[in-house]
Structure 1
Amino acid sequence: MLRTFDEGREPARAGRAWISTVVAAAVAVCIHAVPALAQDGRPFTIDDALSVRTHALEGLSPNGRWAAVTVRTHEDRLNVDHFRFGDPTYVAPSREELLLLDTGSGELTPLIEGRVQVGGVSWSPDGDRLAWLRWDDEAQHLEVWSASDGRVRRVALDDGRSIASNSDLEWAPDGGWLVQLRAPGWAETSRAAYVEMSEGPIVVHDGSEPFLDWERVRNLGDLSIPVHVTPDGEVRDLLPEGEWGGFTFSDDGAVLTAVGTRPLETVYEGNDGTEWRMLRVDFATLDTLQLVEPSTDRPRPTWAPDGRRWAWADDGDVFVRSVDGDAADNLTEDHREPVSATDTTRIRYAVQRWSPDGRRLLLSSQRGWHLVDATGGTPELIYALDDEARENGPRMNVAGWSPDGDEIYVATSERDRWHRGLAVLDPEAGTLQTLRADENLYSSWTLSDDGSTWVFRMSDGDRPDELYAAGPGLSEVRRLTDLNPWLNEVALTRSELVAYLDVDGEKQYGILYYPIDYREGERYPLVAEVYEEFFDNGFNHRMNLVASQGWFGFRPSVDLEEGFPGEAWMKGVTTGINTLIDRGMVDGERLGIHGTSYGGYAVNLLVTQTDRFAAAINISGKVNIISFLGDSEKITTRNYRAAESGQDRIGATLWEQPQKYLAHTAVLYADRIETPLLLLSGEGDWNVPATNQREMYYALRRLEKEVVWVNYMRAGHGAGRAGTVEDFHDHWTRILAWYRDHFDEAAARVTEEAGG
């Protein structure tokens, strides 16, 4: 049965002044009319960082009239109980506003009052209803908004089982839904397994068992029962309890396909620890047919619009199969000739997407983009890309396909400057025409099913992005939102893309953020935030806090080499800073550096190799890669995989290349550190436990070096940024004070040495 929300007689109008004042002015504003940098405004504050509202486009109705939008702040993501990570029954808080956006007028209407926790937001195929899953009062609920009466209703299931907190939500062709339920007793069993591992009182880990114990507990969270829910709330089981996903309905509603997984054992290399299969379910009789036999090869289907055929690539070939067929057709096996006369490598094809009518497939290869008939034939090269274009030309990603199939839309971004936008590819002529390209930052290009409306996100690269709409061909662009009008009174940083050469002579790029009081010809302190690669700008509250102090912020890129990743930051970060010093912009005596997680690890390695920084901060970064292998037990094999074949890039096991692990363990070289070091950690960090950073604190204290360790007892990965509001304030207050104090000391030292 359906019951109406008490507050849901119709979507409540926004209670805040910002909603009532957004629309009229915003719609009239040209896409370029973003406010200029308010150098005379007040500085950006820690409270501002918590309050900036950001949005996500959850879905666009098929006719393009309505967009479902969620809006949140950083504060909405705080207060997580990090100590319950790994508990299958725990749902971390993540609040947001759920809004309905009229793409014509820009009017924003809350679908539910206040901040709520929702997921799976999805439009019905006819666009008349919007459904979502809402976590409320420790339970998951299915809720539906109807355009006909503007009401939000909760669907009451005629079943005592609960909707899984990680359930998918799919519209069924009959107007109902597919969701996943928990089996009776699941919560009690899963919670007991977690408590046994986390509280004991006696915990036994047996290496002869097929799974690491925390992986066994984690797998419980993936168990569910896919069911069909009718509009009246009647429930029908579709498949038995298991690990299911990848649901696709045929457009006639006759067939459902699902991908099933079965964990086999804990593995440290490759993907042989999981068995995959794909089933066809007759929606009327519930008879099942195995479409893909169980194996350790994961199916990666790209579905045709009819939901009856799927395509996939395997070892350079592209295959198509129907749910009604027994075998797949190889579309490309007779067309795998050498790439060129000088490159004898065989062409390798990959699937990009199906045409709207399902008759053709867009493929990519080393030669460019191709169209091929879904029933077979020679792939037609419609847009050629030579070596130069692939390596140095704009990055290109398919953003949409016109309903008539005549135009393919491509998001573009140049590789050596901020020049980004949307282009249209004519498949018949093979020409690419730019619709919009400039220095603005674009994302979330979304075309309505009928091709009438584009909705996308845009920013000048410094302010938070806003939603815009346009007609076919990006005609009649109009701004829809203004989520943070109060920022017009705040002095924000402005960004610049900086090119420089690293020690090896390779070109790198970094993003420079200007002090809010910048005056050309003066030198300013600089704070570098390090990780791996940076290129695109965009609003960044961390760099705004730095710039508000009258300092440059800098996010330099590095080139990480497997086996020797620790060299990268010395080669790339320092040369990037040198470039700015040579430009007369930066005071080389007042340099700071920090990073989070992998970036914190980078900071600790870097300060063992140079003493040029006045202050450094490691936020949730490991300092001992050897002991780290046995840390983070709740994420099981991640740390071994990260070192051997993942982000840490050691490229070998500890026993194959022990010297490389030693070389990348910063605590072993603590005696070389001359830079004052601030360590920030979260006691509930399941990723990089605080105990790992503690090793550096005790080492530097023993060596009588300047070090401070702050452990946030309510926080997780990211230290105070991942704790409470109070933790967030303390985190940033300490960071800024750490830099300020040591920059002042450096300036005083320079003055003293100059005899001042």
Structure 2
Amino acid sequence: MSFLSPRALRAFGIVVVAQLVGGLETTAIFAQERFTPRHVARLRTVSDAKLSPFGTRAAYLLSVPRKPLKDDDGRPWSELHVVDTSGASRPYIIGKVNISSIGWMPDGQAVSFVTKRGDDKENALYIIPIDGGEARRVLTHDVGVGSYSWHPDGRRVAFVAGEKKPKKLNEREDKGFKAEIYEEDWRPSKVWIAEISDLSDPWEETADDANESEDGGEAAVEKSTPAVATRPGGKPRALDLPGSAAEVKWSPDGKLLAITLAPTPLVDDSYMNQKLHVIDAETGEIVTRIETPGKLGSFEWSGDSKRLAIIAAADRNDPAEGRLIVASASDGTYRDVLPNLDGHVTSIAWQNADTIMYLADERVTTSFGKVNADGSEQKTLVPSGKQVLSGLSLSRDGMSGVMLCSASTHPPEVFAMKHGDDGPRRLTDSNPWLSDMRFAPQEVVTYKARDGLEIDGILIRPLDEQRGKRYPLILCVHGGPEAHEANGWLTNYSRPGQVAAARGFAVFYPNYRGSTGRGVGFSKMGQNDMGGKEFDDLVDAVDHLVASGLVDGAKVGVTGGSYGGYASAWCATALTERFAASVMFVGISDQVSKFGTTDIPQEMYLVHERQYPWDDWAKFQQRSPVYHAPKARTPILILHGKDDPRVHPSQSMQMYRYLKTLGEVPVRLVMYPGEGHGNRKAASRLDYNMRMMQWFEHYLTGPGGDAPAWELDYDAEMGKAK
């Protein structure tokens, strides 16, 4: 772990941060290479970026995957970097580190972040000066620091954290009493206020300011353990609020706190029952509760501390938060300021006390616009059509901004835009080796479903496509279904993308009805019709591509995770005559038992099925892939994380057992220990990508028949000598 101390960094105007994905050295051997799982395993990603208050620098987090077969297995490392408006990017804290929750001190002189290192028992809050000096720990807490917000004076911080488990409970656990009381044995997260009392110490760097951390990297050593207090005794003050807190933000005038609270810390409550509260920071009393219905997204204070901009659901049954709401901080009244938007707002920031800038997903791209707080004078600054944007962050004067931007040829990177620019300008290139890769063409395809509804999707054509030749197709179905595919970067461990195109496949990503990006009405179209018209849209996509002359209708495969895994299982059973291979990931096979084993039953009822299993047992059974298992003739590869709380692993086990017992079709079940609802570790991601491609090649372009060998040659894939 390295804590670098760059000095006298050049100031710059504004930055837009896009997720970075990369990390391979550019060498001659990569020239005009085709994508393989090896390349996917090395991609780096920018996960967050924040612009400094004066718009001169942007701090960003770079996700760096571990190297399969070389590094200890685990999730990607998360590094802290800073980029200026000239595009000069410098590493600040790199190596074997896990940095999160980056922010800027109000004076713009230091970056704050959360991490655990050295003798830290839990995550702690650190700051690192931007122009020199080492990172210093400024706040610790018994159970770790979660989200946090600086007071405008930079001397106090509000943060979210739980309460320490009583000593008596720990003693009982040591004696073997470890019974887990399901959905009852929880403790709420609270909001605490702490005073950071030693920030006046000079930042001089000395030879003793660094030592070697246990992982062999360089690490800073804090000069002292700072006191944290808002009252005598040195203890942070916990606010006495109802429910469990998730996010907190201090108002610009320092008098109020905006806090999201749910009845419990259970996932279902955090999805469906969170409310935004305005709190008096001195007394801890609730000023108002903003009663937006349904799901709740991000929120931001206006510069005059009188209003809050909120991304929220339109109603209780809206599948996804995506409406731009402006609420009064004094009485909680609110209004939708973009009522006619047929899209989903994803990111917001106040340009001034009366104007909000926003990013909105519209079909398969993103628009960048602004609107007054009363809903007047809406203006599109960058129309949708060319870019995929996220993560908007503005300077204090609102004249500069940073955001994440991706395209078909690069994962999200840091882009910059300031007042008067025609569009965002790229600042970073975290995967320079991508310039030496061969990219298959990527394009937007719009087709008509059988009932006349217009559906969008993204097509990656086969690399080296020959005119007049038909190609095998992989249909890649997104989860949710309250999500959508955008015309940006579409290749990762579970999305075949450029890897499949390099091997002669066409890959199509359909935004079937129920997807986001086209307004509330479109996203509700699949409700109470699971596996119905939404999956008819998938077959209609295949028919369209076959009719276009590109696809061989006898060589069609399907894959997806979560709800996309449900689609993959449905296509392999109920629609088996249309699909020659399927790869199902953390998917649903039995709608009845899914309700009984998931951690989101309220969401499942309110925004998906709109009824309970006991309301119509027959329907829930008939919309379950296992119900159609006897007619399945599509070879299916089933993959699942053993610790998945969302879609229980038993869903995949049932699908496997039904098909294995029937014995009519090749089936394989792969379980990933230590993984949940999606793979996070380097080894399991590489394994997944290789197995997915092996299955499709075997059944769509290979010999077919019995399942391919289950053992994989990781050394050969990664180019290692045996």
Q: TM-score, normalised by structure 1?
A: 0.70
CA positional deviation for 1:181 = 5.5
If you compute each CA radius of gyration, which structure gives the higher value, 1 or 2? 1
Partners of 1:264 and 1:142 lie apart in 2 by 22
Alignment of 1:495 with 2:442, yes or no, is yes
Match of 1:177 in 2: 157
1:55-134 alignment, distance < 5 Å: 55-75=46-66, 95-103=77-85, 105-134=86-115
1:672 equivalenced with 2:631 (yes/no): yes
Letter in 2 for 1:66: R
SS of the residue corresponding to residue 525 of structure 1 reads strand
CA distance in 1 between counterparts of 2:371 and 2:309 reads 22
Q: What is the distance in 2 between the residues matched to 1:279 and 1:172? A: 16
**Mapped partners of 2:276, 2:383: distance in 1:** 43
Alignment-derived partner of residue 683 in structure 2:
726
The question of 1:305 aligning with 2:303 is answered yes
Distance 1:475 1:179, change over 3 A: same
CA deviation vs aligned residue, 1:563-588 (integer Å, no higher than 9, x gap): 32212354111111111111110111
Q: Which stretch shows the higher mean deviation, 111-120 or 579-588? A: 111-120
Which residue does 2:144 correspond to in 1? 164
Letter in 2 for 1:70: L
Superimposed CA distance per residue, residues 76-115 of structure 1 (whole angstroms, 9 cap, x where no aligned partner): 9999x99xxxxxxxxx955211001112x22212221324
- Which among 101, 116, 128 is matched to residue 135 of structure 1? 116
Alpha carbons 1:461, 1:537 under 8 Å: kept = yes
In the alignment, which residue of structure 1 is the partner of 2:487? 537
- Aligned to 2:125, the other structure's residue is in SS state strand
Alignment pair present for 1:644 and 2:597? no
Q: Which amino acid aligns with 1:581?
A: V
User: Structure 1 CA distance, aligned partners of 2:654 and 2:346?
Assistant: 45
Letter in 2 for 1:612: R
1:289 to 276, 285, 289: 285
Residue 472 of structure 2: aligned partner: 525
CA contact (8 A) 1:556 1:576 kept: yes
Task: Pick closer, same or farther for the CA change 1:195–1:530 going to 2, 3 Å.
Answer: farther
8 Å Cα contact 1:690/1:711 also seen in 2:
no
Q: Distance in 2 between matches of 1:77 and 1:505?
A: 47
- AA partner of residue 699 (structure 2): H
Q: 1:215 to 1:493 in 2, by over 3 A?
A: farther
CA–CA distance in 1 between the matches of 2:635 and 2:696?
10
Structural RMSD (CA):
4.7
Separation in structure 2 between the aligned mates of residue 630 and residue 78 of structure 1, nearest angstrom: 39
**Which residues of structure 2 form unaligned runs of 5+?**
10-25, 200-225, 230-235, 316-322, 514-524, 706-722
Could you tell me which residue of structure 2 aligns to residue 222 of structure 1? 189
The one-character-per-residue Cα deviations of 1:447-479 (angstroms, maximum 9, x if unpaired) are: 312234232333333422322223322269643
Residue 10 of structure 1: aligned partner: 5
Among 594, 602, 607, the alignment partner of 1:628 is 594
Residue of structure 1 in register with 2:458 after alignment: 511
The CA distance in 2 between the partners of 1:195 and 1:687, in whole Å, is 31
Change (3 A) 1:691 1:154: same
Q: Does 1:683 align with 2:662?
A: no
- The residue type paired with residue 588 of structure 2 is K
Per the TM alignment, residue 352 of structure 1 is displaced from its structure 2 partner at its CA by: 3.7
Q: 2:308 and 2:397 mapped to 1: Cα distance? A: 23
Q: Using the alignment, how far apart are the partners of 2:392 and 2:345 within structure 1?
A: 13
Q: State the 1:289 CA deviation.
A: 3.4
**1:294, distance to aligned residue in structure 2 (A):** 12
Q: How does 1:559-638 map to 2 (within 5 A)?
A: 559=513, 560-610=525-575, 611-632=577-598, 635=599, 638=600
Query: Are the counterparts in 2 of residues 466 and 483 from structure 1 also a CA contact under 8 Å?
Result: yes
Q: Is the 8 A contact 1:447 1:454 kept in 2?
A: yes
C-alpha displacement at 1:593, in angstroms?
Answer: 0.8
Aligned ranges for residues 389-404 of structure 1 at < 5 Å?
402-403=351-352
Cα contact 1:143–1:155 (8 A) shared by 2: yes
- 1:231 aligned partner: 198
Q: Aligned runs of 1:543-562 on 2, under 5 Å?
A: 543-559=497-513, 560-562=525-527
Following superposition, the deviation at residue 269 of structure 1 comes to 14
Partners of 1:428 and 1:271 in 2: how far apart?
26
Contact 1:302/1:353 (8 A) holds in 2: no
Q: Which residue number corresponds to residue 661 of structure 2?
A: 702
User: Helix, strand or coil for the counterpart of 2:101?
Assistant: strand
Instruction: Name 2:221's counterpart in structure 1.
Output: none
Q: Residues 376-417 of structure 1: CA distance to partner in whole angstroms, max 9, x if unpaired?
A: xxxxxxxxx6xxxx55xx877885554496x765646654xx
Q: Which residue of 2 aligns with 1:280?
A: 280
Q: 1:500, CA displacement in angstroms?
A: 1.2
Unaligned runs of 5+ in 1: 1-5, 15-34, 83-91, 204-212, 318-348, 370-384, 749-756
Cα distance in 2 for partners of 1:476, 1:162 equals 46
Comparing 261-270 with 615-624, which one deviates more in the overlay?
Answer: 261-270
- 8 Å CA contact retained: 2:188, 2:265: no
Post-superposition CA distance 1:276-303 (Å, at most 9, x none): 9654232xxxx44342489999998864
**Worse-superposed segment, 615-624 or 252-261:** 252-261
- Is the 1:12–1:109 contact (alpha carbons within 8 Å) kept by the matching residues of 2? no
Contact 1:623 1:693 in 2 (8 A): yes
Residues 267 and 396 from structure 1, CA distance in 2 versus in 1: closer, same or farther, beyond 3 angstroms? Answer: closer
1:467 aligned to 404, 407, 414, which one? 414
**Cα distance, 1:251–1:602 mapped onto 2, change above 3 Å:** closer
Moved more, 256-265 or 737-746: 256-265
Would the aligned equivalents of 1:595 and 1:619 in 2 still touch at CA under 8 Å? Answer: yes
